[in-house]
Chain A
Amino acid sequence: MRPIELTVNGSSHELEVEPRELLVYVLRERLGLTGTNIGCDTSSCGACTVLVEGESVKSCTMLAVQADGREITTIEGLATNGELHAVQQAFHEQHALQCGFCTPGFVMATVSLLDENGDPSEQEIREGLEGNLCRCTGYHNIVRAVQSAAGQEVSA
């Protein structure tokens, strides 16, 4: 067991973790943040995407000890004072979620994508979200949601 300190959605947590424990399990099982989902065990689906120091990371690929001392944001921490984040709002308005299982991962990946490139082309959006799988939407409305969150006119 190793002691670590994580700041998750603004609150800090001191935890004892196994050296091989994955961040996603610490978030879900120790901290009860079940909004972060798990869809695979080969780092292929992106359902588990969170922000570590503002950058999107698949939390099933990171050990909890690697996150020691770092700032983490999960889907539960994105809204402020009950106001949805612009990306959450855009996903809602553009109907970019159907079953919703991939949604937290896509929302977090989008926040990070727009942080790096505030005005992405459709191609850049599609390539930027290659790490995340969605089986329901065909990505059509997800792309529109990203465009809308970027303040762009959404394509037809």
Chain B
Amino acid sequence: MLASTELQEGRAIAATEAPAGGYVGARETKHNGDLFLTGRAAYFNDIVLPKMSHAAVLRSPHAHARIKSIDASAAEASAGVLATLTGAQIKEHTGPIPFFIDPAVFGGKTRDNFPLAVDKVLMTGQPVAAVVAETAADAEAALDLIKVDYDVLEPILEADDALKDGAPIINDGWDDNVVITLPFVEGDAEAALAEADHVIEDTFEMHRLSTQPIEPRGNMAVWEKDGSLTFYGSIQNPHPLRLHLSQALGVSESAIRVIAPFVGGGLGLKMHGHPEEALVCVLAKIVGRPVKWLEDRRETLLIGGIEQTHRFKVGFNNDGQIVAIHNRIVANVGMLGSAPGWGMAFLSALGFPSGYKVPVTDVSVQVVSTNKGIWNATRGYGKQGTNVVIERMVDLVARHLGMDRIEVRRKNMIEKDEFPYATNSGLNIDSGDYHAALDKLEELLDYEGLKREQAKLREEGRYLGIGITFELTPESADIPGTIVGGFDSAQVKMDPSGNVTILSGVTTPGSGNDTGLAQIVADEVGVTIDRISVIQGDTDTCPYGFGNYSGRSIVSGGNSAVLAARDIGEKIRGGAALLLEAGDEDIELIDNLARVAGAPDRAIPIAAVAETIYTLNFAIPGIPEPPLESTRVYKPDNIRHTPDEKGRIQPYPTYSYAMHGVVVEVDPETGAVDIKRIGIVHDCGTMINPLFIEGQMAGAMVMGLGNGMSEELKYDEKGTPLSTRFKAYLMPRAGDVPAVELVHQITPSPFTLLGTKGAGEAGVGGGMSVIANAVDDALAPLGVTIRELPVSPPNVLKAIDEAGSNGGRG
């Protein structure tokens, strides 16, 4: 029962004719925008079920402790309370939460994560008990009455401390605190560094951050009378979650229905593996009523990502050619949770050397568990780790040689005739023209003019900085042995009135791929977009799919919709040919009409053809078979799971990329960074809808700038989170950024049906890298080298102080 709202469905605002040239490539606005603009779109918190009750979660105030005992009896007796549950009881109700990506699949360590801590807590905020009550306020109030007796242990918060000899081991049964170490080695780095004209050795620290969609997470479960389970959640991956709930709860997958209503931003944070998903199912079973849990912002801010240190050497020759990279990455993943976050560390190492032709690389990442909060995916999924550090390296090389950084990039980037290009870590970059993108960026920014302005301002004692970075975004991953799938599905159905419904395995937590799917299908079937509905996020109605991550929705979901829609188009053409006495191949489908090419008066409404197929199928010999329904899967090319001679696989079909340039002015007195301009050249292959791509890119870039400048999840020395509200976790506001100047470049992917590449993640790593390089450039006259993010005012002042104290040598 919905309060005058609608689940994932909606119609276009006004009837339209197909744009000249078709819907694909057109700047269509959101096909169901009216739902959002009038407040009728149903998000999780808008769903109201009869007899709904509310859960609240008691969380550990300690980062590392043994639970001696929990007494929930006073809470149980409190007003409005229906039930309590503690960690001591949890195993009676559920198994451990399956990992989205289990480190054990790659030879790493794993652990059993239960929705409530059983005997030991590993992070502040880990759930230890839960209350269900008539109202959320009653449930919250009862939490105060639960008494937990902890034996508090010394927390280990920093990865380097966790790696020390003799460091306490935080996970029972492990022999150290390392989850896994993943090496990616090509050639002999030591020898290559010894031969290089120059070697720079340095470090870079990336801080802990979080994506923080404006809508927090929420889950609700209800056990139906027949014993089946319906789960509603603000989640990104309905079918995979159904599998994992089935495994944890020991209930058949076919007895579980997972529904994701409209999602107010996913950004990786709503990929599952969180304790509260299975928890609400268990609680709903206990109380025999629907149980709803809605996250508050303090809880959302417990989830982090990215925190990693790079200790690197880069070898290069006098001409600017980079010949070797040696990099040891240590990633602090906090408590190892079941959500897919930890895997980002894998990607940070795998991505080297990005779009540069560096013959020798020796990169490894050590994934370390500590008593900080869990990681979950953050938009960009670890690619920002590669991106920031390699782009810092290139700028360091340029500065060392006194070369322009654009020239160093030109010298080292993969040439356009070298694609597909096999990288040192085994990736196969599909296509691109990096040099053309760099040329376009130079022109967009008037780079030479900017440099002159910078020189002039420097004479006046002002610090203008120009940041230039390249960003590679491998997209649409398929990771073997996990529920990270690279293909996806679509069902396209036409009813006898000629209306079309698309049911999709991918989901839309804000990206707008539903409109993209409607555009694609409209062209193939020849109906106007107002006749198309899109349904996503329901495991009972949608075909099996993996949902949203890795910029995959159009690559896998869009192309599967093409295939399914073509099947329908073929039947309509067949029916129309019969009715119009023409050949199938002469029928064109456009503007809701089937017409004979070149004879505009010989036409019939598509709806009439559909109706005929459904109602006169026995009467008209040769008319195509009903139903007008097709379900298809699209598997992109270029993915290779058979390991090559070095044991490497190729998990990505497409590699989008972008060149970024920002102009900043830094105030060396306050450390404040003022962003003056943002310029981007972006290539994600064929574009279904440039308007949406631009929206994604502007959003990703501003998120990346915030990630790199002001956002940081901080902890005190006891492991207590300090960034617990939006007033302390500072995300960009409208006044903090200028307009985004964006230029498209299009090199279609040879490996996907429509030539699309992944979109939606590019910009996040770019924002982080380009702000680091811009601030570094601004403060170069002071001898500053940026070695950490965020470039927040205190960190900028610290960098200036450090440069001053070593005589300006950086």
| A interface residues (Cβ-Cβ under 8 A, vs B) | 32-42, 44-45, 47, 74-76, 78-79, 84, 88, 91-93, 95, 97-104, 107, 122-123, 125-127, 129-130, 132-143, 155-156
Most A-side CB within 10 Å, residue of B33, B213, B732? B33
Digitize B518-530: 1 where CB-to-A-CB distance is under 8 Å, 0 elsewhere.
0000000000000
Tell me whether B296 is interfacial, beta carbon within 8 Å. yes
Q: In the assembly, what is the distance between CA of A58 and CA of B735, in Å?
A: 19
Asked, given contacts A34-B5, A41-B296, A137-B698, whether A74 binds B727 with beta carbons under 8 Å apart, the answer is no
Q: Contacts of B731 on A, CB cut-off 8 Å?
A: 133, 135
At the interface, yes or no: B41 with Cβ under 8 Å from chain A? yes
Complex Cα gap A45–B727 (Å): 10
Within the complex, which residue of B4, B211, B263 is in contact with A32, where a contact is CB–CB below 8 Å? B4
B3, A32: Cβ atoms under 8 Å? yes
Which residues on the A side are within 8 Å of B732 (C-beta)?
Answer: 138-139
Cβ of B702 within 8 Å of any chain A Cβ, yes or no, is yes
* Residue contact A98 to B45, C-beta cutoff 8 Å: no
Q: A93-B29, A95-B29 are in contact. Are A79 and B38 (CB under 8 A)?
A: yes
Q: What residues on A are CB-neighbors of B692 within 8 Å?
A: 95
Pairwise interchain contact B691-A95, C-beta atoms closer than 8 A? yes
**Is B726 in the interface zone, CB < 8 Å from A?**
yes
Interface residue B510 (Cβ < 8 Å from any Cβ of A): yes
Q: Are B39 and A95 in contact (CB under 8 A)?
A: no
The chain B residues found within 8 Å of chain A, CB to CB, are 3-5, 13, 29-30, 33-43, 45-46, 211-216, 262-265, 267, 296-298, 509-512, 691-692, 694-696, 698-703, 725-727, 731-735, 737, 739-741
Q: Contact: A138 with B699, CB < 8 Å? A: yes
Residues of B with C-beta under 8 A to A91: 33, 37
**Contact: A42 with B727, CB < 8 Å?**
yes
User: Which residues from chain B contact A75 at a C-beta distance below 8 Å?
Assistant: 37-39
- Whether B726 and A98, one on each chain, are in contact in the complex, defined by CB atoms closer than 8 angstroms, is no
Residues of A within 8 A of B214 (CB): 37, 39, 45, 47, 99, 101-102, 133-135
A31 CB to nearest B CB, Å: 10
Q: Are B38 and A88 in contact (CB under 8 A)?
A: yes
Report yes or no: B727 in contact with A125, Cβ–Cβ below 8 A: no
Nearest residue, chain B, Cβ from A131? B733
Q: How far is the CA of A93 from the CA of B14 in the complex (A)?
A: 12
Residues of A within 8 A of B216 (CB): 39
Name the B residues within 8 Å of A156 (CB-CB): 739, 741
A92 with B29: CB separation less than 8 A: yes
In the bound complex, do residue B739 and residue A155 qualify as a contact, i.e. CB atoms below 8 Å apart? yes
Complex interface: chain A residues within 8 A of B725 (CB): 40-42, 44
**Is B38 a contact partner of A141 (Cβ separation < 8 A)?**
no
> By the criterion CB–CB under 8 Å, are B509 and A99 in contact?
yes
Shortest distance from the beta carbon of A51 to any chain B beta carbon, whole Å: 13
Please give, as numbers and ranges, the residues of chain A lying within 8 Å of B702 by CB-CB distance: 137-140
C-alpha gap A100/B725 in the complex (Å): 22
B510, A34: Cβ atoms closer than 8 Å: no
A99 touches B30 (CB 8 A): no
Note all chain B residues with C-beta closer than 8 A to A38: 45
Closest to B697 in A: A138
- Known: A44-B726, A84-B34. Contact between A135 and B39, CB under 8 A? no
Top 8 A-B pairs ranked by shortest CB distance? A35-B39, A99-B510, A101-B264, A138-B702, A100-B36, A44-B726, A138-B698, A75-B39
**What's the minimum C-beta distance from B211 to chain A, rounded to whole angstroms?**
7
Which A residues touch B696, using CB under 8 A? 98
Partner of B510, one of A35, A47, A78, A98: A98
A40 touches B42 (CB 8 A): no
Q: How far is the CA of A100 from the CA of B512 in the complex (A)?
A: 10
* Contacts A36-B39, A92-B37, A141-B695 given; does A135 touch B213 at CB 8 Å: yes
B contact residues around A138 at 8 Å (CB): 698-703, 732, 737, 740
Alpha-carbon gap, A64 to B45, bound state (A): 20
Alpha-carbon distance A41/B267, docked complex (angstroms): 21
CA distance A58 to B694 in the complex (A): 30
Are B265 and A125 in contact (CB-based, < 8 A)?
Answer: no
Q: Pick from B211, B696, B739 the residue with the most CB of A within 10 Å.
A: B739
Contacts of B37 in A (CB 8 A): 75, 84, 88, 91-92, 97, 100, 103, 107
The residue that A37 contacts in the complex, of B264, B700, B727, with Cβ under 8 A, is B264
Once A33-B39, A91-B37, A139-B702 are accepted as A-B contacts, the answer to whether A98 and B215 lie under 8 Å apart by CB is: no
With a cutoff of 8 Å between Cβ atoms, the chain B residues found around residue A155 in the complex are 739
Chain B residues with CB under 8 A of A35? 38-40
Residues A39 and B38 in contact, CB atoms below 8 Å apart: no
Known: A100-B35, A100-B510, A127-B734. 12 other contacts (CB 8 A): A34-B39, A37-B214, A40-B297, A75-B38, A97-B37, A99-B213, A100-B36, A130-B735, A138-B699, A138-B732, A139-B702, A140-B702
A130 to B734, Cβ gap below 8 A? Answer: yes
Report which of A41, A98, A140 forms a contact with B297, defined as CB distance below 8 A.
Answer: A41
| CB-based contact A100/B211 at 8 Å | no
User: CA of A91 to CA of B34 in the docked complex: distance in angstroms?
Assistant: 10
